[in-house]
Structure 1
């Protein structure tokens, strides 16, 4: 083994330790009693599972998890389908002004979220959807500029001859999109699903803006309430806070573990043809 290879491997190991240490510390702290949470031992001196029993009594975690799963699935599915539909239109059809229109779509990515936050709130408030879960996902039915760009690049890499042959066999545009384009772009679709699943699962801003009733809280909004009550609210039960954080982080780790093959394939093959 060459010296350069040893250096690269050592650097990778060091970076891996840096990245996983916070989560390892979080898991370790969740098994510690109140007085030992911040003792910086990765192996708890006093091991207890009482925190995992207490957190379900102190906060409606199961209800929050259910709300989050509902919002996350709806957000991921709707934005993936709508973005794929728009991306397919930009990739396959040839029409005047296509490049300019696509540039306008990409330009919306330059708008800070704070710019559209108030107008968007006013729209949902007029529709009577404040303090409901609808604003947390329904906007995704109109697609996302980033995902449209991502999927368009993947659609452009598909051989156009395949679609021309399908047209000769009598296939319509919708049939080609549903039965040819979508199956061939499955890795990119899974990447989009994973990206949006993670974004919706960890989204705190929109629940803070739209949700009032604690029974409608998602996990990030619920964690904020737990932090306010047990972290900064005078109780100082940080073992409850870190335990709730572990419970909400584990599903994301499982998701990335299950989808890592498709995730890697999608990233590696997206944008082959501009």
Structure 2
């Protein structure tokens, strides 16, 4: 009986591993093809059957791509927007989430539900009203429409942070209040240091959203000198005869920073998501 149960457990584990490997390959293979394509010649890229390993690595594709494409300028613009999105996202969302989780006030839960309801509105719905509003402010053609909204909160990030803050024992805050600490001091010196995993999670999400954003820069930017990497790639694709190997080289350059950041901070990312999910 014990032997039969052991065999069943082993079979279940093998099935789970096979499924996980299959899912992992479904995500990894396209990225491997992207890297492979960036190092091929045009002939090898469109060969049939497909060529996975180039006969000669075409490192010149990266050099040519950066020469024909103002990569460093667009990278600087993109990093500026990402940095401001991280700063605004972490500060504004954590402050609002603290008010929803650690301070008792009338109408708090009702307002929190209204905030969550805004998650059902996609950017495409609010795009035109925002464009008209920013146009009246004189912000169109600058980074302001892409940067300043990050300092006014995001419903999803507020939810993540609130769930994490709720799990922090209130006894800690009460003991500090006895010593005369204000709510802001408790938020800044106690709550934020204890919430490092979820803060890093919000920072990662803010970075990836800003890094890969295409619609926002397309709508609000009208000067080539302010373009981001996503808009720059679209410029190359709009050419009548695009160099696909160069596009793949730029694509690899855009994908690697996100992967590197995730692998370096995955411990905190997983902790932030896990603790947020189990606390309520």
What is the TM-score when the length of structure 1 is the normalising length?
0.95
Aligned to 2:269: 263
1:190-245 Cα offsets, whole Å, 9 max, x none, are 0000011101100000111011111111011111111112xxx2x23111111111
RMSD (CA atoms): 1.2
- Deviates further, 252-261 or 45-54: 45-54
Q: Distance in 1 between matches of 2:140 and 2:181?
A: 43
* Match status 1:212 vs 2:222: yes
Give unpaired runs (5+ residues) of structure 1. none
- Deviates further, 108-117 or 66-75: 108-117
| Aligned 8 A contact 1:29 1:38 in 2 | no
Aligned to 2:133: 123
Aligned to 1:42: 52
Query: CA 1:144–1:19 in 2, change beyond 3 Å: closer, same or farther?
Result: same
Structure 1 runs, 4 residues or longer, greater than 4 Å off: none
| Aligned 8 A contact 2:236 2:242 in 1 | no
Equivalenced residues, count: 270
**How much has 1:185 moved relative to structure 2?**
0.8
1:143-192 Cα offsets, whole Å, 9 max, x none, are 00111111001110010010000000111111100000001111011000
Q: Distance in 2 between matches of 1:185 and 1:236?
A: 46
| Aligned 8 A contact 1:64 1:219 in 2 | yes
* Match status 1:3 vs 2:15: no
* Match status 1:94 vs 2:104: yes
| Aligned 8 A contact 1:68 1:201 in 2 | yes
Q: Distance in 1 between matches of 2:37 and 2:91?
A: 40
Aligned to 2:27: 19
Aligned to 1:149: 159
What is the TM-score when the length of structure 2 is the normalising length?
0.93
Aligned to 1:108: 118
**How much has 1:45 moved relative to structure 2?**
2.2
Give unpaired runs (5+ residues) of structure 2. 1-6
1:63-117 Cα offsets, whole Å, 9 max, x none, are 0011000001101110111000000001111111111111111111112222211
Aligned to 1:253: 259
- Deviates further, 33-42 or 124-133: 33-42
| Aligned 8 A contact 1:157 1:271 in 2 | no
| Aligned 8 A contact 1:80 1:189 in 2 | yes
